[in-house]
Amino acid sequence: MEKSALQIARAAYQPKLPKALQGPVKAVEGAATQSVGNQDEIKALFPNTYGMPVITFEAGEAKELPSFNVGVILSGGQAPGGHNVISGLFDGVKALNPANKLYGFILGPGGLVDHNYMEITSELMDEYRNTGGFDIIGSGRTKLEKEDQFEKGIEILRELGIKALVIIGGDDSNTNACVLAEYYAAKKYGVQVIGCPKTIDGDLKNEQIETSFGFDTACKTYSELIGNIERDCNSARKYWHFIKLMGRSASHIALECALQTQPNICLVSEEVEAKDMTLNQIVENIAQVVADRAADGNNFGVVLIPEGLIEFIPAIGRLIEELNDLLAAHGADYKDLDKDAQREYILAHLSKENAETFATLPEGVARQLSLDRDPHGNVQVSLIETEKLLSEMVAAKLDEWKKEGKYVGKFAAQHHFFGYEGRCAAPSNFDADYCYALGTSAAQLIANGKTGYMAIGASESVQAWIAASNPLGACAGKMISPQNIAIAVAAIGTVGCEGKLLHFAVKVYIPFVIIMGCIVYFGQSLVG
C-alpha cells in the first residue's frame, strides 16, 4: 500500500525516552505499597502480589540475559498511543536480547483464551509506529476472571515459551491483570503479568499517573472539531449545537475541551452531583443561557455535555444502581419480553422512589437505561442520547417561557457525539513519547523478574526541565515584544511613549532572563 507524505513523516518520528530509561537500567525498590482502603481484605485476596514495593529505574550496567518470549494484549476501548506501547515493548525486549520474540494475542483477552495469536516482527512493527488505533492485533472486552480461562491461557503461554504477559487496558483490564498475576504466582507457573494503564477518559490516575495515555490526543482532536463547529455556528447564526463528548464516568475530556475552545456552556458531571442537581435544574440553567443570548439577538451557541452526565444526576444515579442489581439478578426473565412488557416489569420491581423517577423519563431514555450492560457491568452511557434529551427538554422549556413572555428568540438544535473520532487519532508527540516509555518500562520490569506490576512511566528527568524552559523563554520574549508594548500604551492612553515603556521594561527584563537562565541551567544538573 502506498503511504502518504504524512504517514511517512509520522513513522519517522523517534519517540523520546526519559533519561531513566535510556540505555541499561537497574530496578530500585522503594517503599511498600498498600491499597487505599480495606487493606486486610485485599491482602487476603492477593497474598502473593499485595504490598510489593514501588519500583524506579536508574542507570545500570549492561547484562547478558538468556532469550525469552513475551505476549501482549490490547484490552478495552481504543486510545491513541497503543501501538507505541507495543513498539516500546518490542524495542525493549529486542534490546535485552535480539533473539527475544513478541507475540500479540488477537482481539483482546479472548485471544489468550482461544489461542489466537501472531508474532510481531520488526517489519510489522515498523508499519504501526506512531499510528492511531489498536489494529495491529485488535482489541476486545473479554473479562479474565474464571479459573478455566487462566488455565487455557497458561496452555498457550507454555506452548509459545512466553515468560511474561503485558496487558494494556483501563481500570477493569488492569484489575483482570492483577487477578491473573496472583493466580499464576499462587500456582507457581513462572509467568509474569504486567499491566499498562490506558483510557482516553482521563479517569485512570493517581499520585503516580498524572494522566493516562490517549487523553492528550483525544482532547486535541475533539477541540479541533468543536472549534470548527463554533466557527460554523458564528457563520450561520441559527443553531444551538449540543455536543456529547466521550468520557464514560468522568468529565475530564469535556472540561479540557471547554478550556481549549471556550463554548457557551459546559456541563461538568461531578459538579452536578456535588450540587445535587435535578434534570429539570440542568435544563432550566441551559434554557436561561439560551434566553439571555436570544435577548441580545444571538440565537446560536455551543453546549458541551460529558458522556456519563445522566449517571451523575443523583435521582437517576440511584435508579441506575437499582437497575444494575435488578438486571443482574433477573436478566434472564426480562430479556425475552417485548418493549412494553419490559417497561412494566421494571416498574413493578423497582422501589417506589426509583419507579417514580423511571416513569418520568422520556420513553427513549428509559429504554436506553434498561439496555444490556457491557461485559464489565457498566451502563452503556454512549448509547444514551443525552444531547437529544437535553435539547428536547430545553425546547419545551423555552416554549413555556415564550407563552409567558420570558423568551423572544428562535431555537433550533443540532446534535453531535464525539467518540470514535478521537479514539484512533494519530497520537500527539506527548502520547507517542509517553506510550513508548510505558512499553520500555514494561520490558524492564520483565527483565528484572517482576510480576503484578503496572508500568507507569519514569521519574523526573532533564527532559522535564527542557520542556519547562520553553514557556519561560516565551514569557521573557513577551515582556519586550513591540506588539505588546504598542497594545499597552494604547490601553492606558499614552501613545507616543513606547520608548519610555521599553526602557523601563528592559530594567526588569535583564535580571529576569538571568535568573530564569540560572534556574534552567542548574535545575538540569540537579535532576540529571
Task: Give the residue numbers marked as catalytic.
Answer: 201
124 and 102 Cβ atoms separated by less than 8 Å: no
Q: Which region holds residue 293: left if phi is over 0, alpha if psi is between -120 and 50, else beta? A: alpha
C-alpha cell at 127: 508499519
Contacts (Cβ under 8 Å, ≥6 apart) of 428: 80, 216, 217, 220
- 83, 88, 90, 91 alpha-carbon torsion, rounded to 10°: 140
**Helix (H) or strand (E) run with residue 435 in it:** helix 429-447
Specify the amino acid at residue 351. Answer: S
Using CA atoms, how far apart are residues 86 and 455, in angstroms rounded to an integer?
13
Return the number of other C-beta atoms located less than 10 Å from residue 404's C-beta. 8
Sheet of 413-418, strands arranged across:
265-266, 301-306, 240-245, 413-418
120 vs 282: CA distance, rounded Å: 50
Angstrom distances, CA of residue 179 to CA of 77, 130, 200: 20, 31, 23
Which string of DSSP letters, residue by residue, matches 170-233? -HHHHHHHHHHHHHHHHTT---EEEEEEB-TTS----SS-SS-BTHHHHHHHHHHHHHHHHHHH
Residue type, 501: L
**200 neighbors 423 (Cβ within 8 angstroms):** yes
User: Using N-to-C axis directions, what is the helix angle for 279-295 and 386-403, rounded to 10°?
Assistant: 60
Q: What is the dihedral angle through the alpha carbons of 402, 405, 410, 412, rounded to the nearest 10 degrees? A: -30
> CA–CA separation, 327 vs 374, rounded Å?
12
Sign of CA dihedral 475, 480, 481, 486: positive
